Structure 1
């Protein structure tokens, strides 16, 4: 499944304001010691 496939599927199934504008595949996500995703670090990486 490619990024374009995910975006196309989302456009068909979700409201216009909810579908993702871009998709990025990562091997791992930054997380805290308890396993919660550190969204702040994801936003800074962009």
Structure 2
């Protein structure tokens, strides 16, 4: 699952389709890119 998550969010990042932080609401799922390994993780 971690590989699929990483690939999915990398593709969104490449296409500049990530949701702006202003649009995130309580209860939404979130992910963060860890700068040490450039991988996406659930937040």
**What interval of TM-score do these two structures reach, taking the shorter chain for normalisation?**
0.3 to 0.5
TM-score by length of structure 2 reads: 0.33
Q: Identify the structure with bigger relative contact order (alpha carbons < 8 Å, sequence gap 6+).
A: 2
TM-score by length of structure 1 reads: 0.31
Greater Rg over alpha carbons, structure: 1
